[in-house]
């Protein structure tokens, strides 16, 4: 049985930066974003990656994923032939309780001004303490998907 991961997504309303344990610069683009498969090029810190994902199964619990590390120079070249709308962000790791961590993404470029916090939970009923800097929950809101932020960036929202 595939394990279902629960991911909850929130806006950020306060200062989380003094709780940050790690930060990584991420730049990513997509070579392919059809419903059946995506091909992503990513530079994460000082490493390059190519990630290919297939369509999920009917219940959405599992999705084929292939990831291969590539040279940063190759990732930069591949970024040039990606679909328009490269995503540029810093990912901050912020400790929550119970061995859990928030991934807080601060966006730049066309998505400047947007910061999203994500929390992966082992199950839907896992309790966690809401830190004071955590804002409105936006889990499931498609506008905040990375693929959507490329096509309709935050700067264009009303």
Residue ranges that bind its own copies, judged by CB under 8 A? 31-32, 34, 36-37, 39, 50, 52, 54-55, 64, 66, 68, 70, 74, 77-78, 80-81
Cβ of residue 95: shortest distance to its own copies, in angstroms? 34
Cβ of residue 83: shortest distance to its own copies, in angstroms? 8
Cβ of residue 124: shortest distance to its own copies, in angstroms? 28
Structural element, H or E, at residue 5 = none
Question: Would you say 65 or 141 has its CB closer to its own copies?
Answer: 65
- How far is residue 158's CA from residue 153's CA, in Å, rounded to a whole number? 11
Question: Would you say 70 or 86 has its CB closer to its own copies?
Answer: 70
The answer to whether the beta carbons of residues 28 and 146 sit under 8 Å apart is yes
Cβ of residue 60: shortest distance to its own copies, in angstroms? 16
Q: Please give the full DSSP string across 38-83, using - where no structure is assigned.
A: EEEEEEETTEEEEEEEEEE-TTSS-EEEEEEEE-HHHHHHHHHTSP
């Amino acid at each position: 049985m595939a394990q279902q991961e629960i991911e909850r997504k929130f806006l950020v309303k306060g200062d989380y930066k003094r709780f940050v344990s790690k930060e990584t610069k991420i730049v990513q683009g997509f070579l392919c974003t059809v419903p059946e498969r995506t091909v992503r090029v990513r530079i994460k810190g000082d490493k390059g990656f190519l990630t290919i994902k297939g369509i999920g199964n009917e219940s959405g619990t599992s999705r084929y994923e292939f990831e291969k590390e590539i040279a940063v120079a190759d990732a930069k070249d591949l970024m040039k032939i990606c679909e328009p709308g490269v995503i540029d962000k810093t990912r901050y790791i912020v400790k929550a309780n119970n061995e859990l961590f928030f991934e807080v993404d601060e966006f730049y470029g066309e998505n400047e001004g947007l910061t999203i916090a994500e929390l992966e939970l082992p199950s839907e009923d896992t309790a966690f303490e809401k830190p004071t800097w955590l804002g409105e929950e936006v889990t499931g809101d498609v506008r905040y998907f990375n693929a959507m932020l490329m096509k309709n960036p935050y700067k264009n929202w009303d």
